[in-house]
Amino acid sequence: MDLVYMTAHELHDKLTSKQISAEEVCREYLDRIEKVEDRLKAYMTVTGDLALNQARSVDKRIASGESIPPLAGIPIAVKDNMCTEGIRTTCSSKILYNFVPPYNATVVEKILAGGMVLMGKTNMDEFAMGSSTENSGFYTTSNPWDTERVPGGSSGGSAVAVAAGETVFSLGSDTGGSIRQPASLCGVVGIKPTYGAVSRYGLVAFASSLDQIGCFSRDVTDCAVLLNLITGHDPLDSTSAPGQKTDYTGFLNRPIKGLRVGVPVEYMGEGIDPGVRAVINDALKVLASQGAVIEEASLPHSKYAIPVYYLIATAEASSNLARYDGVRYGYRAEDPGDVVDMFMRTRSRGFGTEVKRRIMLGTYALSTGYYDAYYLKALKVRTLIKQDFDRAFDKYDVLISPTSPGTAFRKGEKVDDPLQMYLSDITTISVNLAGIPGISVPAGFSGGLPVGMQIMGRPFDEGTLIGVAHAFERDTDHHARFPEL
């Protein structure tokens, strides 16, 4: 089997049994990047020399007889909105084109401490605002299943890097579906953990109350192994959850007989592509065949999710993105007349259209006289949306829906229609508003393009999601199909 399509658990066995060295693995992946990057543009920065050095040091540990942790020597790519010390971190924005952080995000510290090999930083929609990577300030990433199509977003580069064998793992961030939707469109596993499960320290903020780091992998087992490494309390993040660490691999290989599955009608009706719906219905049959009890469920406030999201997320973004002013780092407009001119021209030129659109929306929503009608009202409706989920989880262990209403769309198809673009997140956004975990797993194909199934669970019940996803994966082989490149 092709090395670049192996899972981490397979590679770990080969490394520890000395069938292959970490350096060989790393070189293999760097060659793959070399071969496909022209067409895909998944990466913003490839850190080849650093990766080889890290791989060699893992080889030394293996040679010295040390027993290495499960992910040591395994390649990983990181979305370009997580700070990496000494490595450019752009958020795919011109305004940060030259920003080199002096510190590592907590999650980066953790993957380095785990001996993982950092392959580079991945392309994204600018500041994670978008669903296709078309909002990247630099270039659009292509979907490996059809390079005329988008990979989804905003973590499109991270999804493609895994799907196209340019890395084993990648990290992404998910504010309204930015991990799950590209995972679905690229045919890989992507999880957005519960808000607070993974430290946000060092993740460049888009919408602080919604942002959550998660990961992409080839299969559910790998997902569980990486989750073990990246979750846990961080004193540097006040919103990170205290408590004991969970071993997510303990949820693999569990039977799902009697599992109560709710399928929200709101996520299966109008607006969902019939091909996608058919794939999900087939997937539900697979679960039912293993003894899961499938029922129709309802999340009655779902129709408000998109407006609520675009008030809260933009309001927070308008404040979070205020710091990019040309004073301290990043792009600064040339020859400013005075300080106000510098602020205005730096931000006008440094930010792309979608980012500016959202900053304006958010600024408006927080303004005196509008705050109560927009922002405050949105917070209240957010509570109602969360209560919908609470009630549903009284009855069901998990909820299941399509991850995205459609398969990968053509580049340019939605760029001029932001509302249409926003609607492609309709099935994922509520999960962020409620702060609960969601995973997207390859569920089949429609028109030759991957379709993802989203499994949603109770707060901090990632274990159950892993269990259900793994049960599905055991009886299917969608995750083991790879694009022709």
Partner 1 sequence: MAQYETVIGLEVHVELKTNTKIFCHSSTRFGGDPNTHVCPVCLGLPGVLPVLNKKVVEYATRVGLALKCSIAQYSKFDRKNYYYPDLPKNYQISQYDLPLAERGYLDIDTEEGIKRIGITRVHMEEDAGKLVHQGTISTTPYSLVDYNRTGVPLIEIVSEPDMRTPEEARAYLEKLKAIIQYTGISDCKMEEGSLRCDANVSIRPVGSDELGTKTEIKNMNSFRSLQRALRYEVERQVEALEEGGGIIQETRTWDEAKGITLSMRSKEEAHDYRYFPDPDLVPMVIDPDWVEEIRASLPELPDRRKERYVADYGLPAYDASVITATKELADYFEECLAGYPNAKAASNWVMGDLSRLLNAGNLDISQCPIKPDQLAGLLKLMDNGTISGKIAKTVFEEMFETGKDPDLIVREKGLVQISDEGAISTAVDDVLAANPKVAEDFRTGKEKALGFLVGQVMKVTRGKANPEMVNKMLKEKIK
Q: Which residues bind partner 1 (CB under 8 A)?
A: 81-83, 89, 91, 96, 99, 101-103, 105, 200-205, 207-209, 235-239, 315-316, 318-319, 322-323, 325, 327-329, 338-340, 343, 363, 366-368, 371, 375
Least gap, CB of 327 to partner 1 (angstroms)? 5
The reply to whether omega before 209 is within 30° of 0 (cis) is: no
Backbone angles phi, psi at 448, to 5 degrees: 80, 5
Residue 463: other Cβ atoms inside 10 A = 20
Rounded to whole angstroms, how far apart are CA atoms 331 and 90? 11
Q: Choose between 334 and 338: whose C-beta lies nearer to partner 1.
A: 338
Least gap, CB of 386 to partner 1 (angstroms)? 15
Judge contact between 153 and 124, C-beta under 8 A. Answer: yes
DSSP three-state, residue 121: strand
State yes or no: is 131 an active-site residue.
no
Q: Choose between 433 and 465: whose C-beta lies nearer to partner 1.
A: 433
The one catalytic residue among 79, 121, 411, 414: 79
For residue 102, give both structure tokens. 């002096």
Least gap, CB of 437 to partner 1 (angstroms)? 19
Q: Choose between 45 and 427: whose C-beta lies nearer to partner 1.
A: 45
Residue partners of 473: CB distance under 8 A and separation at least 6: 219, 220, 441, 479
Angle subtended at Cα 313 by Cα 307 and Cα 315, rounded to the nearest 5 degrees: 100
Q: Choose between 165 and 352: whose C-beta lies nearer to partner 1.
A: 352
The helix (H) or strand (E) run that includes residue 345 is: helix 339-350
Least gap, CB of 365 to partner 1 (angstroms)? 9
DSSP string, 186-255: HTSEEEEPPTTSB--TTBPPSSTTT-EEEEEESSHHHHHHHHHHHBS--TT-TTSPPS----GGGGTT--
The one catalytic residue among 93, 136, 154, 199: 154
Residue 395: other Cβ atoms inside 10 A = 11
Q: Choose between 65 and 102: whose C-beta lies nearer to partner 1.
A: 102
Residues forming beta bridges with residue 212, ordered by sequence position? 174
Residue 337: other Cβ atoms inside 10 A = 10
Judge contact between 159 and 183, C-beta under 8 A. Answer: yes
Least gap, CB of 37 to partner 1 (angstroms)? 25
Q: Choose between 53 and 208: whose C-beta lies nearer to partner 1.
A: 208
Q: Choose between 333 and 485: whose C-beta lies nearer to partner 1.
A: 333
DSSP string, 418-466: HHHHHHTTTTTHHHHHHT--EEEEEEEEETTEEEEEEEE-STT-HHHHH
Least gap, CB of 380 to partner 1 (angstroms)? 13
Residues forming beta bridges with residue 260, ordered by sequence position? 293
Strands 117-122 and 43-46, by their bridges, are antiparallel
From the centroid of its chain, how far is CA 292?
A: 27
Name which of 68, 13, 12, 9 is nearest 253 in CA terms. Answer: 9
Judge contact between 266 and 454, C-beta under 8 A. Answer: no
The one catalytic residue among 93, 178, 302, 404: 178
User: Dihedral of the CA atoms 92, 199, 117, 476 (nearest 10)?
Assistant: -90
Q: Choose between 102 and 258: whose C-beta lies nearer to partner 1.
A: 102
DSSP three-state, residue 346: helix
State yes or no: is 121 an active-site residue.
no
Least gap, CB of 272 to partner 1 (angstroms)? 31
Backbone angles phi, psi at 213, to 5 degrees: -85, 140
Q: Can you give the length of the chain in residues?
A: 485
Least gap, CB of 21 to partner 1 (angstroms)? 34
State yes or no: is 154 an active-site residue.
yes
Least gap, CB of 146 to partner 1 (angstroms)? 34
Q: Choose between 444 and 459: whose C-beta lies nearer to partner 1.
A: 459
Q: Choose between 288 and 344: whose C-beta lies nearer to partner 1.
A: 344
Least gap, CB of 328 to partner 1 (angstroms)? 7
Q: Which residues are part of the catalytic machinery?
A: 79, 154, 178
